[in-house]
Amino acid sequence: MGFWIRRGSCHEKTDEEGLAHFIEHAVFKGTAKYPTPALIAEVSDDIGGQIDAFTGKESACYFGKVLRERLPDLIDLLSDLITAPTFNVEELVREKNVILEEISQSEDHPDDWASELFYKNFWKGGPLSHSILGRPEQVRRYTANDLKDFFYKTYSPKNFLVVATGDVDSDEFISLVEPRLESNLANFDPDCAVKASPNYCRPFVNNVQRRNLNQTSIVMGFPAPNHSHPDRIAANLLCHILGGGMSSRLFLELREKQALCYQIGSFICHYADSGALQATASCASNNARELTQRAMAECRRMAVSGPTQAELDRAKLQLRTSLVFSQESSGSRMFSIAHQAMHMDSILDIDQQLGEIDATTHGHVCRVAKEILATDFVGILALGTKKGCEIRLSDI
């Protein structure tokens, strides 16, 4: 089960970057019922399952998986975390250092940092450009009052979503959740809402030099449909055909045929009002230009001619297989239902979702390929380029 908050880094102001993520850390430092981190850790282990949390661009989630008989204990702990944190000043001072280490760790992973820089440029000035972790100088200055103010305006009852899957009775589950939430929500403004500003994609080419890297990490991104757009399934199929497996266009051309890289792939991200189809690769710096040129040429070929019917059939089978296999995990089902509840008009069962995939036509995917893979609207971030090897506008 998961307690979801329909608020993430997209709902921060520019001077609030990192607060949503800081709160995720802070609630585990003490609550009204469980006042110390040690006690929260003990209770978590005593439940006997798995408990975790994360902060994203548009939501935060506190979730766990336990045996059925320990469900009341899981609800008790998670509900206290999201409604009654104490924001102990001494604990928060210590936790700042933990978050600063997390930021440093992200910077030390080239692929992670390249993705962070891509977001910052592709949606420059928009909420999606906000760093989930925040900037070090901001994290250092945040106070307990800053966290409390952001907490009480975002962890509002209207922003809560509670989802459970597996061996659970709906009526019993609601009877366990409702009293725990209602008793702790007196301090929240039930009408409080923070609306994210709109996001607009912008084309760019940005080379970032880092001398301590042996490779250049490259992110190429195109604007893609939002969560509920009718083209989202076609875009996902296109993404798989382009770079989703060993038979994908980019893998066959750039790794198998040209041997320009060890790894290359593509993935797609959907958000409330935007999205991005991204291709990522790492290569020797002196190969970065050629890799980019050949990748963009492959994208242009896909935009002009579209995929073959065989490629589309293969992608549909992969998507259907992934969807069916995900139903074997109660955790995956919980995440899927929560995603649909937050971002879609309705919650579809497995047959309806498979039907959406089957109903996507070759012509639909070809149209979406033309619209998405327009080379005048691509963003390219290259981390670790060397002097004389920078990617240029002429390369795309």
Q: Contacts by 72-78 with C-beta closer than 8 Å and gap 24+? A: 72/176, 73/43, 73/46, 73/47, 74/1, 74/47, 74/49, 75/1, 75/176, 75/177, 75/180, 76/33, 76/180, 77/34, 77/40, 77/43, 77/44, 77/47, 77/51, 78/1, 78/3, 78/51
Residue 372 C-alpha from the chain's centroid: 20
Task: With residue 21 as reference, give the H or E element that holds it.
Answer: helix 19-26
Q: Which residues contact 191 (CB under 8 A, 6 or more apart)?
A: 156, 158
**Which residue intervals of 109-201 are DSSP H helices?**
110-122, 136-141, 144-154, 170-182
The torsion region of residue 243 among left (phi > 0), alpha (psi -120 to 50) and beta comes to alpha
Would you give the DSSP letter of residue 213? -
Distance CA 225, CA 276 (A): 8
Structural tokens at position 179 = 């009293």
Residue 207 C-alpha from the chain's centroid: 24
Q: Of the listed 12, 24, 298, 311, which one is catalytic?
A: 24
Q: Are the CB atoms for 170 and 176 separated by under 8 Å? A: no
Distance CA 116, CA 107 (A): 9
Residue 24 annotated in active site: yes
Enumerate the active-site residues: 24
